[in-house]
Every structure is written in structure tokens, then in C-alpha cells.
Amino acid sequence: MADTDELLSIRAAELYYEENKTQDEIGTVLRLTRWKVGRLLAQAKASGFIRIEIVHPRARRLSIERRLREKTGLTDAIVVSSAGVTGDEELQSRTAQAAADYLAALRPVPRTLGISWGRTLHEVSLHVAQGWATGVNVVQINGGVSLNRRAGTAAATAVTIAHKGSGAATLLPSPAILEHLETKNAIEADRSVAAVLNLGATASAYLFSAGQADQNSALVDSGYLTAEQIAELVRKGAVGDVVGRYIDSTGNIVDPELDSRTVGIQLEQLRHAKTAVAVIAGSSKHAIARAVVGSGLCTVLVTDEETALAVLGDDS
């Protein structure tokens, strides 16, 4: 009986969804009343036999967003669908697009926006809509200019976002990590750097990404850290970095000594920010995404479907 009903509900679903017949017509075909058909259809939906997917680069997964808001303390969550996606490349592009859209729709429009840098943020900057704000002040919140050609993109990211928002970019003229603590203290004390750091601390919103702890990290690429140093950090429990600071799965700094030589905003400042938007996408960033959300480093998470599910713990 239950078996017959299941089969019937599938037949009904075929006629309803694939042939666009009305429940009444289906009733005639299957010799059922239209109410029975309605109930079978409801049953098919409830049993999960009907899968509705929105296949579009800019499609979002609202149900996952809701669950994220409810289960974590996030103010907001943006989850892009990964239906029909081919690789991590596209996933990150979609997520960057979504982050750019979110930034443009953010209310109140931030007067001062603190941003980090990296491949993700750079892509976000490319997608930000022209005229997303009027007179915004974009401030870098972690060091990274110079050192090699990659650094150019860090500045470009800030400048592009600022320009598209009819504003100005304030760059942080400092390396991300210094070799000696004294140098770091000295550079932070320098007026030009201190001023930028102070401005960053007062930003009305933050937009940043996170890096996974492996040899593909942007910090390795940029020459700030070696693959060996990363391996050592991983041994100590590091899952990734936020604004250049490596954290473990609970959100704590992994290596205080290294951290003391890192120039930029403190994680506590991010934790206390009213609006901190984290953009994290890709299968390699599940762990760091979890750590960021779990330790309250952001109030808003922009991510992809799989990463969101990992944060929710649905991948077990």
C-alpha cells in the first residue's frame, strides 16, 4: 500500500511537473480524485523526490542562508548556489560577484570601508558596480604593499573599490609581516602608518577574505612566509589566516610571536565591528570558514553552498 502510493506519487509528479497537467487531469488519468492527487504530490515533495534547482550563476540558496543566520550568530549570510558549477575557479567568481552585490546593497552605506587584500578581494573589486556609493573612504586594514609584483593588486583592489564608489583609497604602506619585532614596532609607530591603522580601526564596515593554511596561501606566494613555516603553523593547529593572522579552528592566534610581527588590524577589532563581511569560497577553505564564523570574526558571511554546509556541519 505504502509502496503503491509511492509509485503513484511519482507518476503524479511526472505528469504534474514534466507534462504540466493539472491535478484534476492527473486524477482522470490515474483514476483518482484531485484531492488524492494533491496529497500524493505533497507526499512526493515531503519525501524529497522532487528536486527543484535554480541553475544560474547568480542563484542563491536562501534556505541555507536562513539556517546559517539561525544556527550561527550571523547578522546576514549570502550563499551562492553551486548547481552546475565546473570548478573552484567558477565558485570563487560567483561568490565574489555576490559579495560585490552585497556591498552595493549594504545599508547604511559605509563612510569608511576597511578591506584586506588577496585574490578573492581583487575579484570582488572587479565585480563591484560602478557608483555603488558616493564618497566612500576605502582603507587597507593589513599590510602588503610592495615586496613583489603581486602587491600591485593589493593597491589596485582598494583603489578600484574606492573609485567605483566615487571615493579615495588609503593604502597601508607596510609589509604584511616583518622579520623583527623592533622593525614592526618602529613601522607601526611611524606617523604615516599609524594614521592609516587608526583610520582602519574606525571604519564603519569591514570587507575581508581568509586564506587556507597550505602552500597555496597568498602569504607564501607573496614571499612573506615559506612553505615550511606554513607546515609548522599547521602542526600547531592553524587552519588558515584572516588579515594575515593565522588562527586555529577555535579562532585563536596560533603563533603569538609571528602574530606580533604582523602589521594590521587586530582580530579583536574585527570581532567588535558592527559590520564585518567575510568572503570565503572554495573547497579548500571549509575549515577556515568554520573557524571564522565559529569565533565571531564576521557578522556577515558570503560563501558558496558547500562551504556553507561545512560551516553548518552538514557534511558529516
Angle between helices 119-127 and 88-105 (to 10 degrees): 60
Q: What's the min distance (Å) between Cβ of 26 and DNA?
A: 8
From 29, 42, 46, 83, residue interacting with a copy of itself (rule: CB under 8 A)? 83
Per partner kind, with CB cut-offs from 5 to 8 A, the member of DNA, a copy of itself, none near residue 35 is DNA
The answer to the question of residue 56 lying near a copy of itself (CB under 8 A) is yes
Those residues whose C-beta lies under 8 Å from the C-beta of residue 229, and which sit 6 or more positions away, are none
Beta bridge partners of 256: none
Per partner kind, with CB cut-offs from 5 to 8 A, the member of DNA, a copy of itself, none near residue 50 is a copy of itself
Q: What's the min distance (Å) between Cβ of 1 and DNA?
A: 8
Residue 261: phi and psi, rounded to 5, are: -95, 5
Q: What's the min distance (Å) between Cβ of 50 and DNA?
A: 11
- One-letter identity of residue 61: R
- Closest by CA to 57, choosing from 101, 94, 102, is 94
On the question of a cis peptide bond just before residue 110, with omega within 30 degrees of 0, the verdict is: no
Nearer to DNA (CB atom), residue 35 or residue 182: 35
Cell of 2: 505504502
Those residues whose C-beta lies under 8 Å from the C-beta of residue 53, and which sit 6 or more positions away, are 81, 83
Residue 6 burial (CB count, 10 A): 15
Binding residues for DNA, rule: CB under 7 A, are 16, 22-24, 32-36, 38-39, 41-42
Interface mask toward a copy of itself for 172-201; x: CB under 8 A? ------------------------------
Cell of 177: 609581516
The answer to the question of residue 129 lying near a copy of itself (CB under 8 A) is no
From 51, 107, 149, 180, residue interacting with a copy of itself (rule: CB under 8 A)? 51
Q: What's the min distance (Å) between Cβ of 101 and a copy of itself?
A: 9
The answer to the question of residue 37 lying near a copy of itself (CB under 8 A) is no
Nearer to a copy of itself (CB atom), residue 48 or residue 256: 48
Contact (CB, 8 A) for 288 and 311: no
The answer to the question of residue 94 lying near a copy of itself (CB under 8 A) is no
Residue 79 burial (CB count, 10 A): 27
Binding part of the chain for a copy of itself, among 52-60, 70-78, 189-197, 241-249 by CB under 8 A, reads 52-60
Dist CA 86 CA 113 (whole Å)? 33
* Residues forming the site for a copy of itself (CB under 8 A): 6-7, 10, 13-15, 17-19, 44, 48-56, 58-63, 83
